[in-house]
Amino acid sequence: MTTRHRLAALAALSMMAASCGGAANEPAAQADTTVAEATTTQAPAPAEEPAQESTTTQAPDPAADGILEVPGEYSTIQDAVDASSSGDLILIAPGVYNEAVDVETDGITIRGLSRNEVILDGGTTLDNGIRVLGASNVAVENLTAINYTNNSVFWIGSTGYRASYITTQRTGDYGIYAFDSVDGLIEHSYTQGSKDAGIYIGQCYPCNAVVDDVISEHNGLGYSGTNSGGELYIVNSVFRNNRVGIVPNSGSYELCYPQRETTIVGNVVHDNNQDDTPAIDVALLAMGNGILVAGGIGNVIERNLVFNHARTGIGAVPFLEDTPNDDIPTREEWGVDCATARNAEITIPDGAILWDSFDNTVRDNVVSDSGAADLAVASVLTDTSTLGNCFAGNTFTTSAPSDLQSKAPCGATATGDWAAGALNVIAWLEEQASMPPSVDWKTAVLPDIEPQPDMPNAATTPADPSTAVMPAIDIASVSMPADPRNN
């Protein structure tokens, strides 16, 4: 994982107030009069002309109706964002927009009229397509963002966020990225060709977020979630043809460690052995795994279809951190929320630390065609049987250690010989140097993006900032997905 920047102080916007004053009135002239002995007739004084009021016709405010049209009313997306107020809808016509847009206004919606034809293009030189800097309840909808050196769509320090009907391709870091942000939804989106992860949610606990109905492929990692969890759900999605599929992990290089309590249900995860993608070091190290918990705690992995991986289908393994910024939290500290943990005192260890995976539940999955093991759990320094990971109701063929589902049943004490058929994760470090190297994200050969579904009624649906929050979710209703190999 790349080192993340901590949240910078956000600059406040100020409004310049203009005032105008009227011209001063001139005093009335006083005329001298002389009383003459002779009577004279004087002409009456001429009547004064009525004062003429000056009138100025002002151009109508294009934002007055709450819909800011680009380029019809504003030439750029950034201009429209800068003119917007909470509750406004920025509506973008089809076209290519070479912009890096920053958002600091709460409660706005940025929406393309056509997902496949509204294209933000960074030209491999601009940093972020749309970056939301601490603003709350901002939704980005129905557009494509490509060729950005960092991220396509990015929230940092936000409360309330939503990415709907978004397509991303070819980014130097992430496709859709929520960092230090809570109360969110990423849905109906497709991401491809990110060097780090196609979808990322990090540094939050509780996150209160849902990833639903996304496709993530040809990335270093399909999904990555460092130090995230707590009411965090990844459901009804497809992670395929990445170096690695879904990877929740712990590490002190971001705050709010450890990673914990992510629910991964109803996904199709397959063929994550792709050796021609851009990739960070962790993606090279963990290549060939489907769902891999790396130093995570208390995750639930249930009713997923996982197949065709060179190493493990579903695994819980340790994560080695070479240069930690703090020591590993104790079990008593696992429940500390992010707001509290970020202010805790730190102790920098003398050397590397190893994050073990504890108390993960793996049940009712269908896992097959894995090179090392369909189901696996491992440690290096700790007795693996004491880690509390459990397995129940899974359909599988191989496991490491062998007969894992009998040795580590859910709701019962671990038993048996855990050395028999154990997974050798140390070998992964030894094999990393021989893995196919990362491909330059700017030039990686990627499949053409098929036209993706549009947001329904994009031109007429009103903006609703209240939808940029975590929706209610019924996990019990999420079913085992259909096998795409049967189509």
Please return the burial class of 256, using the count of CB atoms within 10 Å of its CB with bins 0-12, 13-18 and 19+. buried
Q: What is the pLDDT of residue 58?
A: 64
Q: What is the pLDDT of residue 59?
A: 62
Q: How far is CA 231 from CA 263, 437, 470, 478, in A?
A: 8, 35, 9, 16
Contacts of 468 (CB under 8 A, 6+ apart): 107, 109, 136, 137, 138, 139, 160, 161, 162, 183, 184, 185
The one-letter amino acid code at 486 reads N
Instruction: Please list, residue by residue across 6-31, b when 16 or more beta carbons sit within 10 angstroms of its beta carbon and e when fewer do.
Output: ebeeeeeeeeeeeeeeeeeeeeeeee
Please return the burial class of 322, using the count of CB atoms within 10 Å of its CB with bins 0-12, 13-18 and 19+. exposed
- Rg, Å, the chain Cα set: 30
Q: What is the pLDDT of residue 484?
A: 97
- Token pair 């309330």 is at which residue? 160
H helix count then E strand count, the chain: 5, 31
Chain-centroid distance of CA 445 in Å reads 24
Q: Are strands 268-270 and 305-309 parallel, antiparallel or unpaired?
A: parallel
Q: What is the pLDDT of residue 62?
A: 82
Contact 267, 235 (CB under 8 A): yes
Q: 186-204 pLDDT, tens per residue?
A: 999 999 999 999 999 999 9
Q: What is the pLDDT of residue 218?
A: 98
Per-residue pLDDT tens listing for the chain (487 residues): 333 333 333 333 233 333 333 333 333 333 333 333 333 334 444 444 444 554 555 666 887 899 999 999 999 999 999 999 999 999 999 999 999 999 999 999 999 999 999 999 999 999 999 999 999 999 999 999 999 999 999 999 999 999 999 999 999 999 999 999 999 999 999 999 999 999 999 999 999 999 999 999 999 999 999 999 999 999 999 999 999 999 999 999 999 999 999 999 999 999 999 999 999 999 999 999 999 999 999 999 999 999 999 999 999 999 999 999 999 999 999 999 999 999 999 999 999 999 999 999 999 999 999 999 999 999 999 999 999 999 999 999 999 999 999 999 999 999 999 999 999 999 998 898 889 999 999 999 999 999 999 999 999 999 998 999 999 999 999 999 999 999 8
Contact 455, 165 (CB under 8 A): yes
- Token pair 């557009």 is at which residue? 143
- DSSP state letter for 27: P
318: preceding bond cis by omega (within 30 degrees)? no
State phi, psi for 80 to the nearest 5 degrees: -65, -40
> Which two tokens mark 197?
């992860």
> Which two tokens mark 395?
């359909």
- DSSP state letter for 312: E
Q: How many residues does the chain have?
A: 487
